[in-house]
Structure 1
Amino acid sequence: MTRFNPWHYLRAHHPHLKVDFVDLGRIGCVGRWTHSGIQLDRTCNQRERRVGLTHELCHVESGPMPLDARTAIFEERAIELRTAQLLITVEQLAPALIENDQRIDDNTAEALWVTLPVLKTRLERLTPEEHAYIQQRIASTN
């Protein structure tokens, strides 16, 4: 199974969007979607850039954030989940967990080319079917 590549997705589905690498450290985020395109923090490593770009592409596709703060929180959670689902399929997650002794840590996240918060989001919001699939794969290795 191939990994989701946000750079390929960007070129194929949003070729009009420009990606700039800027200093976002002052505002404490990895990326943001602006009227001129997507900005990613220049100090990010490759995993953070992959996550940041995917996250911002999800924002682009869902449209502007709601003005209501409560609704915006729900929207952001939905974007976080969509990002995690795109970047980590259940077919990739199961072997990564097995290879890393089921640890939920940065080593497992690195094996999946994501950040630890993305890995945690994916695990916290598995569907019952995904959870059963992972448990079955783990049980078959014991």
Structure 2
Amino acid sequence: MWHPWRIAAERYPHITIVCKHELPRGVRGLLKGDTIWLCKTLTQAERRSTLTHELLHVARGIAPPQLQAREERQVDELAARRLISLNDMLRGLRSAQDDRELADALWTDVHTVRVRRETLTPVEVAWLDEHLDDPGPFRICP
């Protein structure tokens, strides 16, 4: 299992993580200099997902303004893949009734679950289909 707090401590000891402030509406996390700001209203699972996302920005560096939208999509996908392995997705899909339940089972947030589902490769979809006896009440891919 991916542990962003451990990764932050081991790989990025120069980064300070602050969770004491409420960020503007719609902003869960923010990287500014050597500080990652996480909104204080986030749940533990949301903090885990957001910290992973921000750590990937640290690792990849800041994209130029004209590439920021694409970079956000790429970082979203990379974070979802780090947080949700295919085996974990399979286990979650076996019992979850919707994305919220799947997120709870995977200890992540709904956004990350949706990104992971939307970016499954054809090979991953085929593997999940093969291993799921009953795909449950919602589709593997949206």
Structure 2 equivalent of residue 105 of structure 1: 99
**How far apart, CA to CA, are the structure 2 residues paired with 1:9 and 1:130?**
26
Whether the aligned pair in 2 keeps the contact of 1:104 and 1:120 (CA below 8 Å) is: no
Whether the aligned pair in 1 keeps the contact of 2:30 and 2:38 (CA below 8 Å) is: yes
Runs of 5+ unmatched residues, structure 1: none
Structure 2 equivalent of residue 122 of structure 1: 116
CA positional deviation for 1:35: 1.1
TM-score, structure 2 length as denominator? 0.88
Q: AA paired with 2:81?
A: Q
Alignment of 1:1-142 (within 5 A): 3-68=1-66, 71-100=67-96, 103-139=97-133
Q: AA paired with 2:117?
A: L
Q: AA paired with 2:57?
A: H
Moved over 2 A (4+): 22-28
Deviations 1:40-96 (CA, angstroms, capped at 9, x unpaired): 11111101100110000011111113221xx21111100000010000000100010
**How far apart, CA to CA, are the structure 1 residues paired with 2:37 and 2:68?**
20
Whether the aligned pair in 1 keeps the contact of 2:103 and 2:110 (CA below 8 Å) is: yes
RMSD value over aligned CA atoms? 1.8
How many matched pairs? 136
Secondary structure of the 1:139 match is coil
Runs of 5+ unmatched residues, structure 2: 136-142
Whether the aligned pair in 2 keeps the contact of 1:24 and 1:31 (CA below 8 Å) is: no
CA positional deviation for 1:25: 3.4
CA positional deviation for 1:32: 0.7
CA positional deviation for 1:26: 2.3
Q: Report percent identity of matched pairs.
A: 30
Whether the aligned pair in 2 keeps the contact of 1:4 and 1:87 (CA below 8 Å) is: yes
**How far apart, CA to CA, are the structure 2 residues paired with 1:140 and 1:55?**
32
Q: AA paired with 1:78?
A: Q
**How far apart, CA to CA, are the structure 2 residues paired with 1:43 and 1:140?**
36
**How far apart, CA to CA, are the structure 2 residues paired with 1:139 and 1:26?**
43
